[in-house]
Chain A
Amino acid sequence: MYAPSFDYYRAGSVGEAQKLMQQHPGAKMLAGGHSLIPLLKLRLTAPPALIDIGRIPELKGITASNGTIRVGALTTHAELASSPAVKSGSPMVAEAAAQIGDAQVRNCGTIGGNVAHADPASDLPTVLLALEARFTAIGPNGERTIAAADFFQGMMTTALGQDELLTAVEVAAKKSGEGTAYVKFVHPASRYAVIGVAAVVAVKDGACSAARVAIGGLLPAAARARAVESALVGARPSTDTIAKAAALVSKDLGADVLGDIFASAEYRRAMAAVFVKRALTIAFTRAA
């Protein structure tokens, strides 16, 4: 558990970070360190340099305005879980953040580091996909915004370029009549999601008017459960309709379901419907 040697630079601002990135090709960004440091200690990665962006003031902070909640990339999971703005404006983000790892991980790990790392068993990508979050990145050609559907591209792969720095994540604030829920099948050792389901539903006149369901943990990257969503819209939420819609998740999973010694692919596939059902049940209850 001793990392190979590397050069260390600390950036005081986003501008400085960009300059350092240009000067040190192959360098890795160090934020909370909870994904990167274990890889270094296991010597699974050996970057020539680390650029510590963990103290850049511009990357911190949570703001809520005009129906949008903007979370700086350096916001920790603990801050997400306890922020009044997040808890009221996007409770599912707080709900999921509170279930990440343990207290030490939540106090150090950041939303930016988490989504840029894009571990398939991570919680936030699933939630942010269901919320149709928008990711702001800055690169040599300036700033751009990436939709969640485009951001997560595969196992540990995102749309971020080598020379880009993730600066913030934005989600739309929850509207009245909407209910959300994140339900997680937690791995007893790693505390990662064996399965994570994020559900956003809206109910109007007793019928489901909108549904966005994302599922993660068992796929190389979190994915939307479109078949489930379609089955829900227009239906009157009941135990029966929810269960029937949830069962359709098998169509959404495709062939790439992950398995390991704790939970096989076959088992996870069977459990996906259970957890989608549970997330939807809670989300509909909250929407009511």
Chain B
Amino acid sequence: MSAKVFGSGIRRREDPRLITGTAAYTDDLVLPGMVHAVILRSPHAHARIARIDTTRAKQAAGVLAVYTAADTEASLKPMPCAWLLPNAELKIAAYPQLAKDVVRYVGDCVAVVVAEDRYQAQDALELIEVDYEALPVVVDPQKATAASAPQLHADVPGNQAFHWTVAGGDVEAAFAKAEVVVKDRIIQQRLIPTAMETRAALAKWVPATGELTLWNTTQNPHIVRFLTSLVTGVPEDKLRVVAPEVGGGFGSKIAAFPGEFLAIFCSMKLGRPVKWTETRSENYQATTHGRDHVQEVELAATRDGKILGLRCSVWAGMGAYLSTAAPGIPTILHGLMLSGPYSVPALKEDVFGVYTNTTPVEAYRGAGRPEATFMLERMLDKLSDALKIDPAEIRRRNLLPPFEDGCNVVTGLTYDSGNYQRALDKALEHISYKELRAEQARQREQKRYLGIGVCTYVEICGLGPSQVAGAIGFQGGLWESAIVRFHPSGKVNVFIGASPHGQGEETTFAQIVSSELGVDVNDVKVIHGDTESTPMGWGTYGSRTTAVGGAALATAVRKIKDKAKVLAAHLLEAASEDIEYDEGRFFVKGTPSRAKTIQDIALMANLAWNLPAGMEAGLEATSFYDPPNFVYPFGAHVAVVEVDGETGNVELKRYVAVDDCGPQINPMIVEGQVHGGVVQGVGQALWEGAVYDENGQLVTGSLLDYAIPRADTLPDIDVLSTVTKSPHHPLGVKGIGEAGTIASTAAVYNAVVDALEPFGVDNLTMPLTPERVWRAMQNATQK
């Protein structure tokens, strides 16, 4: 069976515990003597704190303590920003866990109450008296750069957190010789990640030993330990971070958050375990958001539709403070992907990171790449309109030709491998593109508005070479690690530094071991999420766990195989070079009956009764894998929508996704990732959008107002693939976690604009609510 394990859609071993409700999340954990922390949050988007009086709260039933900035500032260093963009005039404003003199967004932390139970803490919270003096508010990133705009931080003039530029080729010359120029102003609206599990932390400080344990819902426990040590001063060797079951992250559980540090602070002050779990309302107000760009973009092209150059300016709302990895999202992960899968001879982009009176922004599934893909795919559709060339054809004319081992693009990146045309052809063929266009024409005659949207994309993931990480200011490495340990019985434990939280690597990583060494997949257990048992690693985000962690695992497994071969040769009294391997058996070349199974070898290695001279006992290998390059998955998506001509309601009728993530370890899991990703991108196009009013109040503060996708409003998604190996990954695999999200927003948006072609509509604001679409039709009808 082993040879077939790689590539087999076996069921996820994670699912039984998840779907039967037996999995334990941070909030499920109960420790003896545990008490509860609740955070008082600012109701104002921008205000001076004139007075805080905690007297009454401290006297309330069950209350152990109430702390404000005056208590915490001496013990906790400010919130860290860990992506220090070079050459970008980066200005990191002080980000305290508890606001000191000024609150800067609705949800900013002001005080923390600790009580015996959660209800008492909540009751006491209402007894804290705070006098606020309201300050002027700005929520729009472009407006925040105006000279007259309210200033958030005294040391950040013009609210400009950074100004980052990417340029390649001669963009001025490209526009000078352009035969056609198309432009757009795009609002990449702010999104709320809405992980099913809200954020939570449980901190246990043991004064007698000076040891701190933090159970935390995070995508990267090792980074949390690293940052927690910096902020609290607890040394890393005495600091254990555990990510128990984590109920989704989508980027919102990468960053360090004040809540964790406050739980730690309280536990260290009180000597009792302190749990903090945010409510959904807090999650919406104060867990990081995503996107929030204002983009002004123009594309230069020839009359026959060949791209000459791209020029754009982006105002990226960063929120009131810079979250941990935030500066890298609208820059490195966005700007460097601006040429997409196309041949773009010249481009220039200016990105202005801007502080606004809103929740801090961070990575959100796709993180920078959807914002790049959308921009480019809009430009191609505009070009298609301007030149009356079919959208599929205009892409075909610009796609890079196939390459297997490296393609340098204008932004300075080297894509690893790609065959973009093949993916596009497959998507178009599957959906019967020509027939669909004919059907669209027929329906238009009956005043029914079918729309077809095409998106081709390439994305950067598998972050990434650590040398590059350093060069782009990421304050960490980006390698991954794995330990493979064979027990005497031949059963295997794998310990990884990455921290999957729903993606399924407990299953796929067992498949890697099984297919490489011939052990039964059920004899491999994958352990992750505890800094005390797993080797250092940088976490699960940016579609990197299989792309980097999987490579670390493959490398470790191959070390085991090398050692096993030497031991087999010794036991079989043969030369190592005469030992061959097949499906879990090591045998002497030409005499397959003279063989040792991997289980035999695991036993003999662990017993160590008869090892070759110099060989260490045990069968265990560790690998730290630093990838030589990023990986670049790609694909083509096609969406079909119907717009209700009376109401403006958009119905997504069909969706075809062709994605290429290289060889698939488990196609069922790939399909699941594509499904989830596509749906989140469709959510941005049609339903989702965080709205602040002019006073900085989050109007979409709950699931009553913020619409996330639901199964009953989605069609079946046709998931197809092509397979193009990464030339540098030991297994040839890329990443698939974000691909769907990167492509689907543009595909659906383009489909809606295409449906509205009879009305002359070429620009809409997302989400494409019925009213917005209806108004666009009304305006056009009245013209």
Which residues does chain B contribute within 8 Å of A264, judged by CB atoms?
Answer: 771
Query: Given A188-B713, A189-B706, A271-B647, are A4 and B123 neighbors across the interface (CB < 8 Å)?
Result: yes
Within 8 A of A (CB), among B725-783: 769-771, 774-775
- Contact B771–A190 (Cβ < 8 Å): no
Complex contacts, B775 vs chain A, CB 8 Å = 267
- In the complex, chain B residues whose CB is within 8 Å of the CB of A274: 646-647
**Once the chains are docked, how many angstroms separate the CA of A264 from the CA of B771?**
8
Chain B residues, Cβ within 8 Å of A3 = 119
Interface size on A, residues (CB 8 A): 21
Q: Is B182 an interface residue (CB 8 A)?
A: no
**Contact yes or no, A263 B707, CB < 8 A:** no
Residue of A nearest to B119 (CB): A2
CB pair B771–A5 under 8 Å, yes or no, is: no
CA distance A271 to B769 in the complex (A): 14
Please, what's the 1-or-0 string for A42-53, where 1 marks a CB less than 8 Å from any CB in chain B? 110000000000
Asked, given contacts A261-B691, A261-B700, whether A267 binds B705 with beta carbons under 8 Å apart, the answer is: no
Task: State the Cβ distance, A98 to closest chain B Cβ, in Å.
Answer: 12
Interface centre among A1, A4, A42, A190 (most CB of B within 10 A): A1
- Candidate in B280, B700, B771 with the most chain A CB atoms within 10 angstroms: B771
CB nearest neighbor in A for B705: A189
Question: Bound complex: CA of A250 vs CA of B122, how far in Å?
Answer: 47
The reply on B699 being an interface residue by CB < 8 A is yes
A9 within 8 Å of B by Cβ? no
Q: Is the CB of A2 within 8 A of B118?
A: yes
Q: Is B55 an interface residue (CB 8 A)?
A: no
Please tell me if the beta carbons of A263 and B119 are within 8 angstroms of each other in the complex. Answer: no
Q: 1/0 per position for B687-711, CB-CB distance to A under 8 A? A: 1000100000001100111111010
Cβ B699 vs Cβ A261 within 8 A: yes
Report the minimum CB–CB distance from A217 to chain B (whole Å): 14
Chain A-chain B contacts (Cβ-Cβ < 8 Å), number: 55
Q: Which residue of B lies closest to A277 (CB)?
A: B646
**Is A262's CB under 8 angstroms from B281's CB?**
no
Pick the most buried of A43, A188, A262, A267: most chain B CB atoms within 10 A of its CB: A188
B281 and A1 contacting across the interface, CB-CB below 8 Å? yes
B279 beta carbon closer than 8 Å to chain A: yes
Cα-based distance from A54 to B556 in the complex (angstroms):
60
Task: Give bound CA distance, A124 to B775, whole Å.
Answer: 30
Check A1/B705 contact, CB under 8 A, given A188-B687, A267-B774: no
**Secondary structure call for the B interface:** loop
Given contacts A263-B771, A274-B646, contact A5 B707 (CB under 8 A): no
- Chain B: residues with Cβ within 8 Å of the partner, total of 28
**Which residues from B are CB-within-8-Å of A4?**
119, 122-123
Given A5-B119, A189-B703, A261-B700, A267 contacting B771 (CB threshold 8 A): yes
**Interface hits, B84-139 → A, CB 8 Å:** 118-119, 122-123, 126
CB neighbours (8 Å) of B774 from chain A are 267, 270-271
In the bound assembly, the distance between CA atoms of A185 and B281 in angstroms comes to 26
Of A260, A262, A264, most buried by chain B (CB within 10 Å of CB) is A262
Q: How far is the CA of A38 from the CA of B126 in the complex (A)?
A: 18
Minimal beta-carbon separation of B649 from chain A (angstroms): 8
**A76 CA / B775 CA spacing, docked (Å):** 39
Nearest CB in chain B to that of A1: its residue: B279
Cα of A245 to Cα of B703 in the assembled complex, Å: 36
Q: A261-B691, A261-B699 are in contact. Are A188 and B707 (CB under 8 A)?
A: yes
List CB contacts (< 8 Å) of A246-288 with chain B: 260-264, 267, 270-271, 274
Q: A188 to chain B: which residues have CB within 8 Å?
A: 686-687, 707, 710, 713
Residues from chain A with Cβ under 8 Å of B713 in the complex: 188
Residues of A176-213 whose CB lies within 8 A of B: 185, 187-190
- Which residues of chain B are within 8 angstroms of A261 by Cβ–Cβ distance? 691, 699-700, 705
Q: Contact mask A222-251 → B, CB, 8 Å, 1/0?
A: 000000000000000000000000000000
Q: Which residues of A contact B699 (CB under 8 A)?
A: 261
Residues in A whose Cβ lies below 8 Å from that of B686 = 188
A262 touching B769, Cβ below 8 Å:
yes
A267 to B707, CA, bound (A): 19
Q: Which of A5, A187, A270 contacts B123 (CB 8 A)?
A: A5
Chain A residues within an 8 Å CB radius of B705:
189-190, 260-262
Docked complex Cα distance between A82 and B708 (Å):
28
Q: How far is the CA of A190 from the CA of B687 in the complex (A)?
A: 12
Which one of A43, A263, A271 has the highest number of Cβ atoms from chain B below 10 Å of its Cβ? A271
Contact across chains for A1 and B647 when beta carbons are under 8 A apart:
no
Instruction: Give the complex CA separation of A187 and B706 in angstroms.
Output: 10
Report Cα–Cα, A262/B771, bound state, in Å.
8
B contact residues around A271 at 8 Å (CB): 647, 774
Q: Which of A150-195 contact B (CB under 8 A)?
A: 185, 187-190
B residues less than 8 Å from A43 (CB atoms): 126
Q: Which residues of A have CB within 8 Å of B119? A: 2-5
Query: What is the distance, in angstroms, from A239's C-beta to the closest C-beta of chain B?
Result: 13
Contacts of B122 in A (CB 8 A): 2, 4
Select one of B118, B280, B646, B707 contacting A189, CB under 8 A: B707
Shortest A144–chain B CB gap in Å is: 34
Q: Contacts of B710 on A, CB cut-off 8 Å? A: 188
- A260 nearest in chain B by CB position: B705
Contacting pair A189 B704 (CB below 8 A): yes
The reply to whether A263 and B706 form a contact with Cβ atoms under 8 Å apart is no
* Interface flags, B275-294, vs A, CB<8A=1, else 0: 00001110000000000000
Complex: A144 Cα to B571 Cα, angstroms: 94
Contacts of B687 in A (CB 8 A): 188-189
Q: Which residues of B contact A263 (CB under 8 A)?
A: 769-771
Min CB gap A2→B, angstroms: 4
Task: Please name all residues of chain A whose beta carbon is closer than 8 Å to the beta carbon of B126 when the two chains form the complex.
Answer: 43
Bound together, the chains give a CA A43 to CA B126 distance in angstroms of 11
Closest chain B residue, CB of each to CB of A188: B707
Decide: B704 and A190 in contact? CB cutoff 8 A. yes
Map CB proximity to B onto A33-74 as digits: 1 under 8 Å, 0 otherwise. 000000000110000000000000000000000000000000
Nearest CB to that of A41 among chain B residues? B279
Tell me the bound Cα distance from A2 to B647 in angstroms.
Answer: 39
What mask results when residues 172 to 196 of chain B are scored 1 for a CB within 8 Å of chain A, else 0?
0000000000000000000000000
Chain A: minimal CB distance from B469 (Å): 39
CB-nearest residue of chain B relative to A262? B769
Bound complex: CA A105 to CA B769 (Å): 25
Shortest distance between the CB of A90 and any CB in chain B (Å): 25
CB distance from A18 to the nearest CB of B (A): 30
- By a CB distance below 8 angstroms, the chain A residues around B647 are 185, 271, 274
Q: Which residue from chain B places its CB closest to the CB of A185 in the assembled complex?
A: B647
**Distance from B317 Cβ to chain A, minimum over Cβ atoms (Å):** 18
Distance of A187 Cα from B713 Cα, bound (Å): 12
Beta-carbon nearest neighbor of B706 in chain A:
A189
A185: B residues at CB distance < 8 A:
647, 770
A138 to B686: give the CA distance in the assembly, Å: 47
Residues of A close to B704: CB separation below 8 A: 189-190
List A residues 103-142 near B (Cβ within 8 Å).
none
Contact of B280 among A1, A260, A262 (CB under 8 A): A1
Residue of A nearest to B121 (CB): A2
- CB-based nearest A residue for B198: A1
Residues from chain B with a CB closer than 8 A to the CB of A187 are 707
Closest A residue by C-beta to B683: A188
Closest to A186 in B: B713
Task: Decide: A189 near B771, CB < 8 A? Known: A4-B123, A261-B700, A274-B647.
Answer: no
List the B side residues contacting A262 at CB < 8 Å: 705, 707, 769, 771
Query: Can you list 12 residue pairs at the A/B interface with Cβ under 8 Å?
Result: A2-B118, A4-B119, A43-B126, A188-B710, A189-B687, A189-B707, A261-B699, A262-B707, A263-B769, A267-B771, A267-B775, A274-B647
**Which 7 pairs between the two chains have the least Cβ-Cβ distance?**
A189-B707, A188-B707, A1-B279, A2-B122, A267-B771, A190-B704, A274-B646
8 further interface pairs, Cβ-Cβ under 8 Å (given A189-B707, A263-B771):
A3-B119, A4-B122, A185-B647, A188-B686, A189-B708, A190-B703, A261-B691, A263-B770
Q: A-side interface residues toward B, CB under 8 Å?
A: 1-5, 42-43, 185, 187-190, 260-264, 267, 270-271, 274
